[in-house]
Structure 1
Amino acid sequence: MFKSIVFLLRIAIAWLLAIILAAAVWAELPLIGRIEWPIVIAGMLTMALVVAGALSHIGRVRLIAGRLDKGALDNRQRRQIEIPLEAGEAFDLLDAAIRELPRIGDVESARDSLQIRAKVARPNNYGERPLGRWNPLVWFGVPRNQILATVTPGADSSSVLLICEPESPAWSDWFLVDDGSNLENADAVSRAISRRVGQRRSTEKAAAVQTSAEKELTVARLSLLHAQVEPHFLYNTLASAQLLTRGDPARADEMLGHLIQYLRHSLPRDGQDMSSLGIELERALAYLEILKIRMGPRLAVQVDVPGALRATALPPMMLQTLVENAIKHGLEPRTGGGTVWIRARRAEDAVTITVADDGVGINSQNSGTGIGLANVRERLRLLYGEAASLSVVANFPSGVAATLTLPDVAGAGRGREADRDVQHV
């Protein structure tokens, strides 16, 4: 109440001094200066309109802000708003919030300087003022407000300085009121910014949930893939073993032994999302041993994997996918067969695993659809982000070399398996 009384007295005293000055000038006028009643009536009418306008301003500010203090009653409003976005994004958000204000016009956006200027027409909340243009509360002012917004970049966020004021000099605040329109504009822009930041966070949260769901779906699909053995491979292996039992039981027994080893490593392990290079290598070698019996001298295998790297964490079936690609799209289409190389090395804080062949090459008609390699890349992205990669290049003098690069998070130098350093099969 005290603040509203001070505000009312300030405007009343300012206008009273102006009326006294006008009366003094009137008194000095020749002839009509002796007639006092016109200036007295004009002064009383002016004071009545001023007090009524000031009371209307106080009532509307209380209605908008729910409080009465100097900050709320002022014609010029200042806000400091923190936005958790980088400067460019904060500027775009602020620009959109200002442009959606009612009665907005003449918006000037300067992206380089991160400044926005705009004009806002004042609403006629209660219709035209009494006496229209003869009302003293509109004599010195323009019925428009203006907005100046500046974005200041920060480390992780941006700060917005928002100024809403009448389109008239500061001295006019002693005589004029804005009916709370600048308070309304400042609050509207603040609310719009909060709404847009909240909407952005909701969108990001929804995207994160969707990404998580997609990841879980991908992992579920991969687990199902892991639990499945290729029917054609199983059928061909059993058919070959059955045929060998008639003429070469020893080789048939050897093939079934490798098949058992392959199937043992292909069964899913509960609670274990990751395998190791050693375990995946045993699976791949069991697979290659079966194919060696079927393909005979057409297939040669060379493995160069240090024992210290056998403990390197590796997603299940990833090495197997590269080995199967080398066989199906590299060596099987080639009449004379060829060689598959499996090699692993440590490079600084990463481990590289290469599967190469000297088959028909990457540009042949038998190079496949690339679905297997695409799945490998997607799994690497989901598990390691940008820290892992798969590169596929042409091998010299023929064939393809596929290289996995994985972060050495487990410190593979402290190997947990006592496997042989080098195998030559």
Structure 2
Amino acid sequence: MSFGFFFIARRVAAWAAVFIVLTILWDELPLPDVVPFFLLFLIAAIAVVSLGTSHLRRVRMIAGDVDATTVASRQRRQIEIPLDADEAFALLDAAIRDLPGVVHVDTARDSLQVRARVATQKPAEGWVSRVLAFLDGLVRASCGRIVATLAPGDGSSRATVLCEPDTDAWSDWFRIDDGSNLDNAEALARAITRRVAEHRRREQAAVRQTETEKELTVAKLSLLHAQVEPHFLYNTLASAQVLTRHDPQRADVMLGHLIDYLRRSLPRADESMSTLGAELDRSTAYLEILKLRMGPRLQVQVDVPADLRGVALPPMMLQTLVENAIKHGLEPKPGGGTVWLLARASDHKLAVTVADDGMGFNTQNSGTGIGLKNVRERLRLTHGEAAHLAVVANFPQGVAATITVPLDRPLPPPVPAADAEEAPHA
């Protein structure tokens, strides 16, 4: 209470000093004594007391306490914004523009500064109201300004906000802002805090969405990995059943290849990636089964350097290309044909090709089937734009499908023939 009394008394004293000076100057000049300075002082004193009391009450309502900091007409805030400079500046600018009463905003993005003018009093209507507004305007600041400067940091920024009357500092002895600058400073701090919280919620929602998509991706990859074509399994078991009656030895070989194929096809919970060697062994087991079924109609040629077998490769992709080559290329072709499995590494990339000399592209096989779509989607999910699948016509007939994936690390240079150990002779 004593601080509020001192706050009001100081401004009444300032106005009293002004009127005393005016009275002295008037008396020194050869002018008629018609100016009622004392009456004007009484009006100004009443206005100061009334508006000062209103100012103190509003400050107490806004801040909950009345002290030298809260009653001041010039308010300063430092607000930490946990964003980089560009995002923090955009957030600060938007928060200032949304304040009530903002009539003009100047933005200097290069210097990370925002200036704004804030109207705090509506214009009066009618001559009586205008006279009262004029007297009120002598004591109350009718317009304020906001100056906000951003200091960028390492992943965060600090905003320094000044809310003050649009007059020089000496006028604070005579004029009262009715708590408007305190209100603007508090409102701006709340707005920035709210916007930062919203930004964090959006980030968390995006992270949750990404995690959900990742889980769905892993589930999709696991499902594709676990898929074994039912018709192939049924046909192989039916063929093995027939062979057990007429050629038990071939039936035993077929079941052995089937067991090897199924063992390599079962998904492993701890592995999202396979290797070229593992995928090649799976596809070879698959082709060995089909060779027993198709006989001389199927020939297989494999050309994969041994140093490439350990290169990481998404599972089941090579198998999908091999199945397409058999299903769409060689099975419909009278007399069958050959499947080639090739692998080469260059420019930090691995290229794996499955080619055939089968039926080639036609109305039933255009290179855009579900299996190939799955391969392209899995390449995108695993490697993004760094991997791709190319399906082209083979010469002189057939189709060649090539998967290109990035190498995790450069391959060691090949050992020169003169330095290599001599291979053992049979």
Give the TM-score category using the shorter length. 0.7 to 0.9
Q: Residues of 2 paired with 1:275 and 1:41: CA distance?
A: 96
| Aligned Cα root-mean-square deviation (Å) | 3.8
The residue type paired with residue 302 of structure 1 is Q
Q: Note closer, same or farther for the CA distance 1:403–1:28 as it changes in structure 2 (3 Å cut).
A: same
Question: Which residue is equivalent to 1:145?
Answer: 144
Question: Which residue is equivalent to 1:293?
Answer: 292
Matches within 5 A, 1:24-173: 24-30=24-30, 32-33=32-33, 38-109=36-107, 114-122=112-120, 132-135=132-135, 137-139=136-138, 143-173=142-172
Q: Residues of 1 paired with 2:109 and 2:29: CA distance?
A: 56
Displacement of 1:262 after TM fit? 1.0
Q: Residues of 1 paired with 2:150 and 2:363: CA distance?
A: 57
Q: Note closer, same or farther for the CA distance 1:203–1:245 as it changes in structure 2 (3 Å cut).
A: same
Displacement of 1:396 after TM fit? 5.8
Q: Note closer, same or farther for the CA distance 1:240–1:80 as it changes in structure 2 (3 Å cut).
A: same
Q: Which runs of 5+ in 2 are unaligned?
A: 123-127, 413-426
Q: Residues of 1 paired with 2:189 and 2:319: CA distance?
A: 57
CA contact (8 A) 2:102 2:119 kept: yes
Q: Residues of 2 paired with 1:275 and 1:355: CA distance?
A: 17
Question: Which residue is equivalent to 2:180?
Answer: 181
Q: Note closer, same or farther for the CA distance 1:218–1:134 as it changes in structure 2 (3 Å cut).
A: closer
CA contact (8 A) 1:300 1:338 kept: yes
Displacement of 1:141 after TM fit? 6.5
Displacement of 1:248 after TM fit? 5.0
CA contact (8 A) 2:139 2:176 kept: no
Q: Note closer, same or farther for the CA distance 1:266–1:85 as it changes in structure 2 (3 Å cut).
A: same
CA contact (8 A) 1:330 1:357 kept: no
Q: Residues of 2 paired with 1:10 and 1:339: CA distance?
A: 103
Q: Note closer, same or farther for the CA distance 1:289–1:142 as it changes in structure 2 (3 Å cut).
A: same
Question: Which residue is equivalent to 1:420?
Answer: none
Q: Residues of 2 paired with 1:133 and 1:308: CA distance?
A: 90
The residue type paired with residue 16 of structure 1 is A
Cα distance per residue 1:320-363 (max 9 Å; x no partner): 23333444455556666554443445668x66251331456679
The residue type paired with residue 143 of structure 2 is R
1:400 aligned onto 2:400: yes
CA contact (8 A) 1:140 1:172 kept: no
Cα distance per residue 1:211-242 (max 9 Å; x no partner): 21232233234334433421121223234444
Q: Residues of 2 paired with 1:157 and 1:21: CA distance?
A: 53
Displacement of 1:286 after TM fit? 0.7
Cα distance per residue 1:166-222 (max 9 Å; x no partner): 233443222111111122112212211221221121122122112212322332343
CA contact (8 A) 2:8 2:48 kept: no
Displacement of 1:60 after TM fit? 1.8
The residue type paired with residue 57 of structure 1 is H
Matches within 5 A, 1:161-240: 161-240=160-239
SS at match of 1:163: strand
Q: Which runs of 5+ in 1 are unaligned?
A: 414-425
Q: Note closer, same or farther for the CA distance 1:247–1:204 as it changes in structure 2 (3 Å cut).
A: same
TM-score by length of 1: 0.78
Q: Residues of 2 paired with 1:271 and 1:29: CA distance?
A: 100
Between the aligned residues of both structures, percent identity stands at: 56
Q: Residues of 2 paired with 1:331 and 1:196: CA distance?
A: 63
CA contact (8 A) 2:97 2:105 kept: yes
CA contact (8 A) 1:329 1:367 kept: no
Q: Note closer, same or farther for the CA distance 1:132–1:275 as it changes in structure 2 (3 Å cut).
A: same
Q: Residues of 1 paired with 2:360 and 2:67: CA distance?
A: 80
Question: Which residue is equivalent to 2:278?
Answer: 279
SS at match of 2:144: strand
Q: Note closer, same or farther for the CA distance 1:103–1:231 as it changes in structure 2 (3 Å cut).
A: same
Question: Which residue is equivalent to 1:19?
Answer: 19
Q: Residues of 2 paired with 1:148 and 1:372: CA distance?
A: 61
CA contact (8 A) 2:15 2:41 kept: no
Displacement of 1:366 after TM fit? 0.7
CA contact (8 A) 2:80 2:157 kept: yes
CA contact (8 A) 2:275 2:312 kept: yes
Q: Residues of 1 paired with 2:237 and 2:365: CA distance?
A: 26
CA contact (8 A) 1:107 1:119 kept: yes
Q: Residues of 1 paired with 2:149 and 2:329: CA distance?
A: 62
Q: Residues of 1 paired with 2:367 and 2:156: CA distance?
A: 48
CA contact (8 A) 2:341 2:355 kept: no
Moved more, 177-186 or 207-216: 207-216
CA contact (8 A) 2:83 2:157 kept: yes
SS at match of 1:179: coil
Displacement of 1:142 after TM fit? 6.0
- Count of residues paired in the alignment: 404
SS at match of 1:176: coil
CA contact (8 A) 1:311 1:412 kept: no
The residue type paired with residue 282 of structure 1 is D
Q: Note closer, same or farther for the CA distance 1:5–1:222 as it changes in structure 2 (3 Å cut).
A: same
CA contact (8 A) 2:150 2:158 kept: yes
CA contact (8 A) 1:312 1:412 kept: no
The residue type paired with residue 104 of structure 1 is V
SS at match of 2:405: strand
Q: Residues of 1 paired with 2:12 and 2:373: CA distance?
A: 78
